[in-house]
Amino acid sequence: MERRRRGNFEGSIFQRKSSGLWGAALVVGHDPFGKPRRRYVYCKTKQGVLDRLQRLKTEARAGVLNSNRQTVAAFLTRWLEDCARPAVRIGTYRLYEGLLRLHIIPRIGSLRLDRLTPLHLQAMQSDLERQGKSARLREQIHNLLHGAFDRAVRWRMIFSNPVDALEKARVPRRSMRALSADEAQRLLDAAKGSKFYALYKLALTTGMRQGEILALRWSDVDLEARSLSVRHTLLSDRGTPILAEPKTAHSRRKIELGADTVAALREHRLALFSRGLRASEWVFPDSKGGPMRKDNLVRDSFWPLLKAAGLPRIRFHDLRHTAASILLAHGTHPKIVQELLGHSKMALTMDTYSHAIPTLQREAADKLDSLFR
């Protein structure tokens, strides 16, 4: 009688007499000579091994069972270079590289990818918390691993994403520090006569991001039409300025300029000519005519101006918050503010700024009061 060949995904269980350990074997394929290829699982109980065998069958039918013994470190390194690097900004890539090198790979890198469980990840997060690592850093690690292991699922290297079983660290929302209109005027007064007065005028009247301002070239600015186009942003890779695409598709936008801002830009351009920078294509170049580094602007100009104006030290990005807050407080329609800032949705604008503007809340309260007198 011809012996029946065991088919794919058929399993059998057995118990070792010497140790009493239960085991299961699953046929996952056959070699070119017809010899079956098997995967084995073991457990102390019969029910335990049956459960593992069932999971093995599910993974086999889903196409994720293979002989891959790749470590977490090997997979994440490949993911970083092949998937993340082409898709994210250079700053995000550097962040990911640092998180992997300093925090993730030293803790779970030696584990096999197909044997990684939520318990391993929870232990890593608990260890980070015990060491006093911030909730923000733990959130970044959570997001990185979730994206990476989603890719592993799509590549059929693992059956499910172990990060799905974890709770993300709760990160306290950073409170913004928007200047009042009077404080913003004090900053501009302190900047008058400096070589970057037009830069601060532009920041406070347009709400542009720092990188968008420093990426401006004169070809982006039409002083006659009183407008400019945001086409790029300036990033920094270990101190080297890099021209890149704007943050989002909605960040590409045309901005109308006020007459005073245009006048400030005209004076600024004449000042560049007098400093021997006529040939520079950049609106706000460094002393050699090249793109300016963000950290140099903040350290050498912005912080000293804040001190001179008697204002607290804030981030440059808070000038963007200042522009939006003042516009909303003075009745500008949120849709206009959304377009000016380059937000994708008006809800984002309102969620970001409505809670920070007591004036709007007071107006709403007064309107309700008037309805029920």
**Alpha carbon distance 248, 228 (integer Å):** 18
**So what's the pLDDT on residue 257?**
97
**Alpha carbon distance 341, 208 (integer Å):** 7
**Alpha carbon distance 119, 99 (integer Å):** 20
**Alpha carbon distance 281, 9 (integer Å):** 66
18 contacts 29 by C-beta, under 8 angstroms? no
Out of 165, 200, 220, pick the residue that ends a domain. 165
| pLDDT of residue 165 exceeding 50 | yes
Residues 39 and 94 grouped into a single domain: no
Residues 213 and 301 grouped into a single domain: yes
Which H helix or E strand runs over 62?
helix 46-62
**C-alpha 228, offset from chain centre:** 27
Q: Is 292 helix (H, G, I), strand (E, B) or coil?
A: coil
| pLDDT of residue 68 exceeding 50 | yes
Residues 212 and 304 grouped into a single domain: yes
Q: Is 42 helix (H, G, I), strand (E, B) or coil?
A: strand
User: Is residue 371 in a domain?
Assistant: no
Range of the domain at 29: 13-62
Residues 266 and 217 grouped into a single domain: yes
- The average pLDDT across 237-242 equals 88
pLDDT more than 90, % of the chain: 67
pLDDT tens sequence across 135-146: 999 999 999 999
196 contacts 299 by C-beta, under 8 angstroms? no
Residues 159 and 199 grouped into a single domain: no
| φ/ψ bin of 207: left (φ > 0), alpha (ψ from -120 to 50), beta (otherwise) | left
User: The sheet that has 22-30: what strands, in order across it?
Assistant: 11-15, 22-30, 36-43
Quickly count: other Cβ atoms within 10 Å of residue 69's Cβ.
Answer: 10
Residues 20 and 133 grouped into a single domain: no
CATH value at residue 115: 1.10.150.130
**So what's the pLDDT on residue 323?**
95
pLDDT tens sequence across 73-120: 999 999 999 999 999 999 999 999 999 999 999 999 999 998 899 999
What does the DSSP assignment read for 190-250? HHTTSTTHHHHHHHHHH---HHHHHT-BGGGEETTTTEEEE--EEEEETTEEEEE--SSGG
Q: 243 pairs with which residues across the strands?
A: 234
The predicted model scores a pTM of 0.73
Tell me the pairing of strands 227-230 and 22-30: unpaired
| pLDDT of residue 362 exceeding 90 | no
**So what's the pLDDT on residue 62?**
62
Out of 313, 335, 365, pick the residue that ends a domain. 313
Cβ contacts of residue 49 below 8 Å, gap of 6+? 13, 22, 23, 24, 41, 42, 43
Quickly count: other Cβ atoms within 10 Å of residue 199's Cβ.
Answer: 27
The set of long-range contacts for 244-248, using a CB threshold of 8 Å and a minimum separation of 24, is 244/89, 244/90, 246/212, 246/342, 247/209, 247/342, 248/342, 248/344
Residues 45 and 83 grouped into a single domain: no
Instruction: Specify the number of domains making up the chain.
Output: 3
CATH value at residue 214: 1.10.443.10
- The average pLDDT across 320-331 equals 90
User: Is residue 130 in a domain?
Assistant: yes
User: Is residue 358 in a domain?
Assistant: no
pLDDT more than 70, % of the chain: 91
Closest CA to 163 of 103, 105, 122, 114: 122
Closest CA to 158 of 112, 101, 91, 224: 112
**So what's the pLDDT on residue 193?**
92
Banded model confidence at residue 346, pLDDT cuts 50, 70, 90: confident
pLDDT tens sequence across 302-321: 999 999 999 999 999 999 99
- The average pLDDT across 35-46 equals 85
